[in-house]
């Protein structure tokens, strides 16, 4: 694979069906790995499940400076039930837009990262390694990055800075919210629907919980960059048949957290709000991410993007979570920037697209960020 055009390289990645679930990133990962090996990278593959392949690639420098890490994920979300007017696996063009599942989230960024690596491989006297961590399973809870982080330092090595290529429309962001997901179950007593007084309706109980959670108090002040935490009740189920009093009901809750919050502390608050007749279970949590805006490297990235955006970026963050939180912790808390060509408002949508101009700008920015780090 020798394509050096960012749009056509993105198209080659879109052609791989990496929809998750079920998730099958192996073929795409080896395709990407072959491109990187052609560019002089050392590539290792790691699977957390069958065909759930992530890769760690390294372009070796002199080692006089810690490596810089670029990261992104290979999986995409399902197409949804709505009809696509464009082929979701073809990268069809319409003016400045090219369409496909994963264009914004985030195969265009992967193409930019790959081409950045190829360009940097042509430079001599690199004082630092470039490490690329391209993961499987991000869309279903950062499974690939969590698995890699658990393998220890011999797999990931070290990094002095991280660039996460998630969709930001080329705005360099310094943080994102975390996530904590819970299930709340209420129990009742089943009875015939014609005699509801003989039973205890679990749906009525969970409805009361829903009402109480609409005024849930997190007990924390909003974060200066990331704002306030949020709570969304995303699922509700209960009962088996319409002519019986239901003896169980449940809701699924998604909370987006800010720095300083702990998922277990939130669970205790949810339990208090839900009441004694409800059971709260923590299903999943990923930490938030924040980097000091005054960090020297962050300011250097701002300088790179000022030249391209025509204005100096303002400190900002996003509500979604990324592999960056797992990698930032695994690498010992280096400064981390979220910067990608995709539009966050296009992620997971029918007829998802990315702007060609954004992809071209991000490629230039990735090259300059890496060059400044590795060739200083």
Instruction: Give yes or no: residues 135 and 194 share one domain.
Output: no
Q: Which residue has the tokens 């837009």?
A: 97
pLDDT at position 4, please?
Answer: 85
pLDDT per residue over 118-151, tens digit each?
999 999 899 999 999 999 999 999 999 999 999 9
Boundary residue ending a domain (223, 256, 286)? 286
Could you give the residue ranges of the DSSP H alpha helices within 159-294?
A: 202-213, 263-274
Instruction: Give yes or no: residues 243 and 279 share one domain.
Output: yes
Q: Contact, 42 vs 338, CB < 8 A?
A: no
Instruction: Give yes or no: residues 184 and 169 share one domain.
Output: no
111 falls within a domain: yes
CATH number at residue 206: 3.30.70.360
368 falls within a domain: yes
Instruction: Give yes or no: residues 145 and 223 share one domain.
Output: no
CATH number at residue 305: 3.40.630.10
Q: Please, which residues bridge with residue 200 across strands? A: 189
Q: Is the dihedral of CA 322, 325, 326, 328 positive or negative?
A: positive
Whether the pLDDT of residue 110 is over 90: the answer is yes
Instruction: Give yes or no: residues 190 and 222 share one domain.
Output: yes
Q: What is the DSSP string of 217-231?
A: ----PPBTTTB--EE
Q: Which domain holds residue 363?
A: 6-176+288-374
pLDDT at position 1, please?
Answer: 52
Instruction: Give yes or no: residues 184 and 166 share one domain.
Output: no
- Confidence band of 3 (pLDDT split at 50, 70, 90): confident
The alpha carbons of the chain give a radius of gyration, in whole angstroms, of 23
Instruction: Give yes or no: residues 257 and 319 share one domain.
Output: no
Measured between alpha carbons, how far is 259 from 292 in angstroms, rounded to an integer? 12
Check residue 141 and report its DSSP letter: T
Percentage of residues of the chain with pLDDT beyond 70 = 99
Q: Contact, 297 vs 240, CB < 8 A?
A: no
Q: Contact, 325 vs 287, CB < 8 A?
A: yes
pLDDT at position 286, please?
Answer: 94
Check residue 2 and report its DSSP letter: -
- Quote the tokens at residue 115: 């081409």
Instruction: Give yes or no: residues 269 and 199 share one domain.
Output: yes
Measured between alpha carbons, how far is 347 from 339 in angstroms, rounded to an integer? 14
Q: Which residue has the tokens 């015939």?
A: 192
Domain count, the chain: 2
Give mean pLDDT, residues 154-177.
97
Compute CA distances 282 → 156, 181, 187, 222, 325, whole Å: 28, 6, 18, 23, 19
197 falls within a domain: yes
Instruction: Give yes or no: residues 68 and 136 share one domain.
Output: yes
Boundary residue ending a domain (286, 313, 347)? 286
Compute CA distances 134 → 34, 70, 301, whole Å: 13, 8, 21
26 falls within a domain: yes
Kindly compute the dihedral angle of the four CA atoms of residues 306, 311, 313, 314, in this order, to the nearest 10 degrees. Answer: 160
Boundary residue ending a domain (229, 264, 286)? 286
195 falls within a domain: yes
Residues 6+ apart with CB under 8 A from 279: 184, 185, 186, 187
pLDDT at position 2, please?
Answer: 61
pLDDT at position 46, please?
Answer: 98
Tally Cβ neighbours within 10 Å of residue 5.
Answer: 11
Q: Please, which residues bridge with residue 179 across strands? A: 256, 286
1 falls within a domain: no
Instruction: Give yes or no: residues 33 and 118 share one domain.
Output: yes
pLDDT per residue over 320-365, tens digit each?
999 999 999 999 999 999 999 999 999 999 999 999 999 999 999 9
pLDDT per residue over 211-246, tens digit each?
999 999 999 999 999 999 999 999 999 999 999 999
Give mean pLDDT, residues 80-99.
97
83 falls within a domain: yes
Q: Is the dihedral of CA 115, 101, 71, 368 positive or negative?
A: positive
Q: Which residue has the tokens 């690939």?
A: 144
230 falls within a domain: yes
The pTM for the full model equals: 0.94
Instruction: Give yes or no: residues 134 and 17 share one domain.
Output: yes
Measured between alpha carbons, how far is 197 from 204 in angstroms, rounded to an integer? 13
Q: Contact, 136 vs 25, CB < 8 A?
A: yes
Whether the pLDDT of residue 250 is over 90: the answer is yes
Instruction: Give yes or no: residues 139 and 194 share one domain.
Output: no
């Amino acid at each position: 694979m020798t394509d050096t055009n960012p749009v056509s390289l993105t198209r080659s990645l879109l052609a791989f069906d990496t929809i998750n679930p079920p998730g099958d990133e192996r073929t795409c990962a080896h395709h990407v790995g072959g491109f990187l090996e052609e560019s002089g990278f050392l590539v290792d593959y790691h699977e957390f499940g069958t065909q759930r392949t992530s890769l760690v690639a390294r372009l070796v420098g002199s080692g006089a400076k810690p490596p810089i890490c670029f990261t992104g994920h290979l999986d995409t979300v399902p197409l949804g039930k709505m009809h696509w007017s464009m082929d979701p696996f073809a990268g069809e063009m319409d003016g400045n837009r090219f369409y496909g599942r994963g264009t914004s989230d985030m195969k265009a960024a992967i193409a930019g990262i790959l081409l950045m690596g190829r360009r940097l491989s042509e430079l001599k006297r690199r004082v630092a390694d470039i490490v690329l961590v391209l993961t499987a399973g991000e869309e279903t809870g950062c499974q690939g990055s969590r698995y890699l982080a658990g393998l220890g330092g011999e797999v990931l090595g070290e990094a002095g800075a991280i660039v996460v290529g998630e969709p930001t429309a080329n705005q360099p962001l310094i943080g994102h919210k975390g996530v904590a997901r819970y299930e709340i179950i209420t129990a009742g007593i089943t009875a015939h629907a014609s005699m509801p007084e003989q039973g205890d309706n679990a749906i009525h109980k969970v409805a009361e919980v829903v009402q109480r959670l609409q005024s849930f108090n997190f007990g924390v002040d909003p974060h200066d960059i990331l704002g306030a935490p949020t709570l969304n009740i995303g699922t509700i189920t209960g009962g088996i048949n319409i002519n019986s009093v239901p003896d169980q009901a449940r809701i699924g809750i998604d909370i987006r957290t800010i720095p300083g919050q702990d998922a277990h502390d939130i669970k205790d608050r949810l339990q208090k709000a839900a009441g004694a007749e409800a059971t709260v279970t923590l299903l999943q949590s990923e930490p938030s991410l924040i980097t000091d805006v005054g960090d020297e490297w962050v300011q250097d990235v701002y300088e790179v993007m000022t030249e391209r955006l025509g204005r100096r970026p303002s400190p900002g963050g996003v509500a979604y979570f990324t592999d960056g939180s797992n990698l930032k912790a695994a690498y010992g808390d280096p400064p981390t920037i979220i910067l990608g060509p995709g539009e966050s408002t296009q992620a997971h949508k029918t007829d998802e697209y990315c702007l060609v101009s954004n992809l071209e700008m991000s490629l230039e920015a990735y090259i300059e960020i890496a060059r400044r780090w590795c060739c200083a």
